[in-house]
Amino acid sequence: MPKFEFCLPTLGKNAGPEWLHEIKYEGYRLRVERDGDRVRLIARVGYDWSTTFTGSARCSRSAISSSAYA
């Protein structure tokens, strides 16, 4: 299964009232990787947070097919 890289935020100019954007609140941006029963929550810099966020890892294990990236 191919891996993917995180999108990096870029500074843009407001294009008017119809412009959509995402506000980045303090938090984590994680990629969920599942291979069989193994689930990893990987940060952009490569750190595995699955032992810290065990509830999220457990929910991901039951919600995502046996082999996937999300």
pLDDT digits (tens, 9 = 90+) for 7-65: 777 776 766 777 666 666 677 788 888 888 888 898 888 899 999 999 988 888 888 77
- Backbone phi, psi, residue 56, to 5°: -65, -40
Sheet holding 30-35, edge to edge: 38-43, 30-35, 67-69
**Is 0.85 topped by the overall pTM?**
no
pLDDT attached to residue 51? 93
Judge whether residue 69 has pLDDT over 70. Answer: no
Domain ranges for the chain: 30-69
Query: What residues contact residue 60 under an 8 Å CB cut-off, 6+ apart?
Result: 32, 34, 39, 41, 70
Q: What is the pLDDT of residues 51-61, one digit of tens each?
A: 999 998 888 88
Question: Six-digit token pair at 25?
Answer: 């609140």
